[in-house]
Chains A and B, each alone.
Chain A
Amino acid sequence: MNTQQLIESLSRDVPRVTRHAPEKRVGFGIIAGCLVTLVLVTTVLGIRPDLQVALYGFSFWMKWAYAIALGVAAAYAVTRLARPLPGSLGSLWLLAVPVSILAGIGISELVRTPSDRWLAMWLGQSWMICPWLVLTLAAPIFVGLLWSFRKLAPTRLRAAGAAAGLASGAWAATLYCLHCPETSALFVLTWYSLGITLATGAGAVLGPRLLRW
Chain B
Amino acid sequence: MAESETQLKAWMVGGLNGDERSHAALLGALVPLLHSFYRRRMHDAEGDVDDLVQETLISVHTRRASYDRNRPFTAWLYAVARYRLVDHYRRRKLSVSVEDVEDILAIEGFEEQVTASMDVDNLLNTLSPKQARAISDTHLDGMSIAEAAAGAGIGESDVKISVHRGLKAIASRVRGTRQ
Contacts and interface: CB of A to CB of B under 8 A. Distances in A.
Interface of A: 1, 3-4, 6-8, 10-12, 14-17, 19, 21-22, 25, 82-85, 151-153, 155-158, 208, 212-213
By DSSP majority rule, is chain B's interface helix, strand, loop, or mixed? helix
B83 A17 contact: no
By DSSP majority rule, is chain A's interface helix, strand, loop, or mixed? loop
B83 A83 contact: no
B80 interface: yes
25 contacts: A3-B31, A3-B54, A6-B54, A6-B58, A10-B23, A10-B57, A10-B58, A11-B23, A11-B24, A17-B64, A17-B65, A83-B66, A83-B67, A83-B68, A84-B79, A85-B76, A151-B63, A151-B65, A152-B66, A153-B79, A155-B86, A155-B102, A157-B98, A158-B99, A212-B87
Nearest to A17: B16
Given A152-B66, A158-B99, A10 B83 contact: no
Contact of A153 (B24, B27, B59): B59
Contacts, number: 88
A8 B68 contact: no
**Among the interface residues B66, B68, B82, B98, which one has the most CB atoms of the partner chain A within 10 A?**
B66
Nearest to B63: A153
A153 B23 contact: no
Contacts of A25: 65
Contact of A22 (B15, B16, B59, B66): B66
A85 B79 contact: yes
A84 B23 contact: no
Interface string B42-72: 0000000010011001110111111111010
B176 interface: no
Contact of B24 (A1, A8, A83, A84): A8
Contacts of A152: 63, 65-66
Contacts of B67: 83
In the A-B complex, the 10 residue pairs with the closest CB atoms: A84-B79, A11-B24, A16-B18, A153-B63, A153-B66, A21-B65, A7-B27, A17-B16, A152-B66, A10-B61
Nearest to B72: A85
Given A15-B18, A84-B79, A153-B83, A6 B57 contact: yes
Interface in B95-134: 98-99, 102
A19 B31 CA distance: 26
A175 to B, nearest CB: 28
Nearest to A151: B65
Nearest to A152: B66
A14 B27 CA distance: 12
Contacts of A6: 54, 57-58
Contacts of B151: none
